[in-house]
A and B are shown apart, each in its own frame.
Chain A
Amino acid sequence: MVAAQPIATLTSTGARRFQFRGNAGEFFRIWIVNLCLSVVTLGLYAPWAKVRTLRYFAANLAVGGSHFDYDADPKRILVGRLIVGAAVGLYSLANWLYQPLGIAMLVAGMFLFPAAVVRSTAFHHRHTLFRGIRFHFHASYATAFKVLLLGPLFGMITLGLAMPWWYARRQAFIVENSRFGTSQFDFDGPAGPYYGVFARAVGVWLAGGAAAGALFFLIKAQLPSESEYLPFVAAACALPLVIGGALSYGISQAGFTNLLYRNARISDLRFRSELQPAPLAWLYVSSGIAVVLSLGLLTPWAQIRLARYRASALSLVAPSGLDAFVQGSEPAEGAGALASEAADLFDFDLGL
């Protein structure tokens, strides 16, 4: 059997690269048709569009010859959106008619937020599959409350000094509470490296600002004091600031994503993530400009490009292969489908 060929390599050791197989032309057609239907139906079709999009990205992401899959029921997403929409509508109405009521609702919403994030993450995990096995997410309200509400609050109180520590905690929260079938993910992420990324990002950003300032005063000294070119000089000198800002963004995005994968583990599987700050920054900047100039029409191209780069930087180290995972008490079909449907009643999509 020839088909056995790519699969057979799975059982050997060594790193397997993730691969993204989607292409921009194909995805553009999918995207525009679904966007058009969403717009024409005033958003009612949007959940179907969302599931098709997520499925496209999952099914085109492959590692070791197997691809991911996504099979959420759009109707559940529609219900979730209607609930969130109704809540927001009620809140603004309350705010209008009697402000204390609005504030009370805002506080209630704040306390509901961690639960909603857990539910929404659980929903998306459960409907993501790899080799026929589903992902799961389960976290207690207390943990979610601590990480999602108290964490950022602590970060703000410390004027941002605790933010890198919080990033580490938030990644740990997501990873540690995830399962693939019956296998739990582990996360070993000391805060130190997160501070390293943070320091580099802030450093580059400040350096860009300093370079822009120095350049401006150097040129200004050469010009007559009332020169009419001064505004243009100022604009040109802002360039290092922009480059520094983009690079700083690339450093933080690449750094934190790399840490996420490097610190995650499941049984004897490990990940390698080698995103580079400069290419990533360029990807963001060039995509952003292209999207704006094309009135949004190049958005699918930008998404495909980004997915391809992110996948190419990611690999999986699986010393004993990918065969040993077990679905557990929630099989994909039959009795399990009912359990999954029941869970879906309480889980919904938040659009996070």
Chain B
Amino acid sequence: VIRRRARLFDGTTSRHTDVELALYADGSLQLRGEGVHLDLHVNDVRVSPRLGATPRVLSLPGGGRCEVDDDDELARALRAGRGKASVWHRWIDRLERHRAAALVSVVITLATLAAVVQFGIPALASAVASSLPASAEARLGDGALAALDETWFAASELPPERRAALEARFDVLAAGVEPKPRLVMRAGSEIGANALALPGGLVVLTDELVALAERDDEIFAVLAHELGHVVHHHSMRAVLQNTGIGVLIAAALGDIVSISSFAGTLPTLLIQLQYSRRFEREADAYAVAHLARSGIPPDALASMLERLEQSHGGGAPVPAYLSTHPDTRERVREIRRGADAQEEGSSSS
């Protein structure tokens, strides 16, 4: 028999009675105190699940509550007559008491989070992006362009003939690409020499980039890179991924770190930048293959990237993990390696 001191509340007033709890091997349960003389069976009471060193609560039939300090011996005795529902709680409690379980949990948690960030969210975003109606994506692209026009861009100052020629050659380069690309030319003002792909196949090219290029091949090499973004729905996927990671981090930290919500912004940003660099590499790889098919030497992309980096101030020393794009030298090396592989492939076939 196990005897413990306990506090009995009748469930209708906040007054308590000190009682002695006696639990017998056959499961019969006695509560004795001033004016209290209860004979029960452990199966008649609902016992609160074990949690750390917190007191156990025995909910009695009729609304009474008996609170008793927890210990291992009592826990074993209370367990004896209890039904199926508690198996699950007992399991959780056992894990919570286990040093090794804590260690394993740390590893599993970090590994799962890493897997979700690395593979789960990108795969989900990709699936959603490819199932979206083309009109929705196009509308988003038009909205983004309107916003950019308002804040950064001005109308292109290139002569109309030059623009028409670029557009015509772009249409050849982009033939067969889905969603159907559209070239938009703008004066970049503060943005300078640049090209970008917006959702729905919009490709923006700035006058400054046209001026910076030494040969037209270099312009189309950059446009091929942007076509890579278009083909892979990168803009769309970036929006979805960044939303996803924002929600995930808010959900993970929201409940846990109400102390420092600012702590969530840095990891969010680092992960978003990592996603962005991955897209750039994909677009580079697409450009190399597509250029080779279109009869433009892929090396034009490498030389144009170097020129772009010089024009943007010789590459400010931003650490790789804080950048939206991979390191230019690394990209150039990759592109040239890819170009060589293309050449070998075509000459051997």
Give residues of chain A (10-59) contacting chain B, Cβ–Cβ below 8 Å. Answer: 21-22, 26-37, 39-40, 43, 46, 48, 50, 52, 55-56, 59
Q: Does B337 contact A (CB under 8 A)?
A: no
Task: Tell whether, in the assembled complex, residue B109 and residue A36 are in contact, meaning their CB atoms are under 8 Å apart.
Answer: yes
Looking at B14-22, B177-185, B315-323, B326-334, the stretch in contact with chain A turns out to be B14-22
With a CB–CB cut-off of 8 A, which chain B residues contact A21? 53
- Docked complex Cα distance between A299 and B256 (Å): 7
Q: Does A218 contact B (CB under 8 A)?
A: no
Task: Tell whether, in the assembled complex, residue A36 and residue B105 are in contact, meaning their CB atoms are under 8 Å apart.
Answer: yes
Q: How far is the CB of A352 from chain B (nearest CB, A)?
A: 10
Looking at A127-135, A137-145, A198-206, A222-230, the stretch in contact with chain B turns out to be A127-135
Q: Does A108 contact B (CB under 8 A)?
A: no
- Docked complex Cα distance between A71 and B118 (Å): 38
Q: How far is the CB of B76 from chain A (nearest CB, A)?
A: 19
Q: Given the interface contacts A2-B5, A35-B256, A291-B257, does A332 sit within 8 Å of B11 by beta carbon?
A: yes
* Partner pick for B109 among A28, A35, A132, A288, CB 8 A cutoff: A35
* Partner pick for A40 among B7, B9, B57, B108, CB 8 A cutoff: B108
Q: Does A165 contact B (CB under 8 A)?
A: no
Give residues of chain B (12-37) contacting chain A, Cβ–Cβ below 8 Å. Answer: 12-16, 18, 20, 33
Q: Does A3 contact B (CB under 8 A)?
A: yes
Q: Does A303 contact B (CB under 8 A)?
A: yes
Q: Does A112 contact B (CB under 8 A)?
A: no
* Partner pick for B259 among A1, A284, A324, CB 8 A cutoff: A284
Task: Tell whether, in the assembled complex, residue B263 and residue A292 are in contact, meaning their CB atoms are under 8 Å apart.
Answer: yes
With a CB–CB cut-off of 8 A, which chain A residues contact B252? 39
With a CB–CB cut-off of 8 A, which chain A residues contact B113? 39
- Docked complex Cα distance between A322 and B9 (Å): 12
Q: In the complex, how many residues of chain B place their beta carbon closer than 8 angstroms to a beta carbon of chain A?
A: 59
- Docked complex Cα distance between A323 and B17 (Å): 11
Give residues of chain B (51-79) contacting chain A, Cβ–Cβ below 8 Å. Answer: 51-55, 57, 59-65, 67
With a CB–CB cut-off of 8 A, which chain B residues contact A260? none
Task: Tell whether, in the assembled complex, residue B260 and residue A287 are in contact, meaning their CB atoms are under 8 Å apart.
Answer: yes
Q: Given the interface contacts A132-B10, A332-B11, does A39 sit within 8 Å of B109 by beta carbon?
A: yes
With a CB–CB cut-off of 8 A, which chain A residues contact B257? 291, 296, 299, 302
Q: How far is the CB of A30 from chain B (nearest CB, A)?
A: 5
With a CB–CB cut-off of 8 A, which chain B residues contact A59? 51, 54-55
- Docked complex Cα distance between A191 and B57 (Å): 42
Q: A52-B51, A326-B12, A351-B255 are in contact. List 4 more A-B contacts (CB 8 A).
A: A7-B18, A33-B95, A67-B54, A323-B15
Q: Does A297 contact B (CB under 8 A)?
A: yes
Q: How far is the CB of B258 from chain A (nearest CB, A)?
A: 9
- Docked complex Cα distance between A66 and B16 (Å): 10
- Docked complex Cα distance between A60 and B96 (Å): 16
Q: How far is the CB of A8 from chain B (nearest CB, A)?
A: 9
Task: Tell whether, in the assembled complex, residue B51 and residue A56 are in contact, meaning their CB atoms are under 8 Å apart.
Answer: yes
- Docked complex Cα distance between A30 and B105 (Å): 10
Task: Tell whether, in the assembled complex, residue A323 and residue B13 are in contact, meaning their CB atoms are under 8 Å apart.
Answer: yes
Q: Given the interface contacts A325-B14, A327-B12, does A132 sit within 8 Å of B65 by beta carbon?
A: yes
- A-B contacts, 12 of them at CB < 8 A, read A29-B97, A33-B105, A36-B104, A132-B11, A133-B9, A292-B260, A295-B110, A322-B14, A324-B13, A331-B11, A333-B61, A333-B62
